[in-house]
Amino acid sequence: MKLFLVLLNCFLLTVGQVGGPLLARTYFLHGGKRRWLSAWILTCGFPIMLLPLAVSYYSLAAKSKTTQSTGRFTLTRWLFATSAVLGTLLGLDSYLYSFGTSYLPVSVSSLLGSTQLAFTAVFAFLIVKQKFTPYTVNAVVLMTFGSAVLGFHMDGGVVPRGESVERYALGFFMTVAAAALHGFLMTALEYVHRKAGVPLTFDLVMQVQFVISMFAAVFCTVPMIINRDFQVICKFGIFSSQAMAKEAVEFDLGETKYYMTILLAAVALQLMIIGSIGLVFSSSSLFSGLVTSFLVPTQQVFAVIFLREGFDAEKGMALAMCLWGFASHLYGEHKAAATSDNKQPTPRNHGDQEDSPADV
């Protein structure tokens, strides 16, 4: 079950992190400008989890009839409360990221991948007492610098046209702050899981993910309601706000593609959240950070294919360093597992006789 959850969440994180930012970038490239809406898109896809939760609920209901158990949910009150707090912080993190990237070029915003891994490693060491092997340290250093190469691209230091130096600096600060908060959230989630005192199950992971995503979406929805930007209308079967309807008319790709871009981005980004949280539960916050950093240059490759962005020596170097670092971590884990297996004593058969002093 643990291996299945690791592979499943790696797949979800890959799909979400590669597809979600590309769709979100398409939104900004073709006329999207609203930051709270962008943050809301990062979190509003949580209803897609209702289907697996419903399957889980009725599965547990059927199981409770055969085992005479009354519980259909494995989420405790303490886990619900802590998940609500973490979800609220995730909503804040989404806004910081959206605010920062609205002022930054794509190359600089790629720094988020590198600083997130560095912050995750620091918090993992301080909060959950993560043990670092030479292979893990090598992976963190290589993948951090590999992703940082994208941020320090030759075009990365140029302030975008129409933006002031102050806004550029503010956007850079907000992006790094979002990376630090995300690193803390992943480590805090691992700490909560260790202290929960309940066994890891697929149902538990899904319930925690739903609560975190729901409170993150609520955090981003409330400001839109306060600003009266969320007067709900229905367009093309999608519920949206008046602000979205006005923006859709001015969207370069057309009104229909505007709503499709937002819908697909919301689904993909929700898969990214599910995958990153699921990896923390099934593995560790550090491994989740490593996979996330590995996908940063991978995302750039897809940006070259679908968004016609350039692929130069810096991006090639970043991809190579991240691949090397990720391979280093996997090799270290494999070697540690092999060493652990060799240290385990060989079980003695019941029919074997004890060695005599002479044999010894």
Maximum Cα–Cα distance across the chain: 92
pLDDT at 157: 46
What is the per-residue pLDDT for 216?
Answer: 92
Average confidence (pLDDT) per 10 residues, the chain, 360 residues: 84 87 78 78 84 78 58 75 93 86 64 71 84 81 72 52 69 84 90 80 83 91 73 49 74 87 88 87 81 75 71 73 78 75 56 45
What would the two tokens of residue 92 be?
């804040």
Q: What 3 state SS string does the chain have?
A: CHHHHHHHHHHHHHHHHHHHHHHHHHHHHCCCCCHHHHHHHHHCCHHHHHHHHHHHHHHHHHHHHHHCCCCCCCCCHHHHHHHHHHHHHHHHHHHHHHHHHCCCCHHHHCHHHHHHHHHHHHHHHHHCCCCCCHHHHHHHHHHHHHHHHHHCCCCCCCCCCCCCHHHHHHHHHHHHHHHHHHHHHHHHHHHHHHHHCCCCCHHHHHHHHHHHHHHHHHHHHHHHHHCCCCCCEEECCEEECHHHHHHHHCCCCCHHHHHHHHHHHHHHHHHHHHHHHHHHHHCCHHHHHHHHHHHHHHHHHHHHHHCCCCCCHHHHHHHHHHHHHHHHHHHHHHHHHHHHHHHCCCCCCCCCCCCCCCCC
How many residues can be counted in the chain? 360
Give residue 353's pLDDT: 47
Asked if 186 and 90 touch (Cβ cutoff 8 Å), the reply is no
Which pLDDT does position 209 carry in this prediction?
86
What is the structure's pLDDT at 173? Answer: 82
Q: Which pTM does this prediction carry? A: 0.76
What mean pLDDT, rounded, does the chain reach? 76
**C-alpha–C-alpha distance, residues 278 and 229, integer Å:** 33
The gap from C-alpha 353 to its chain's centroid, in whole angstroms, comes to 55
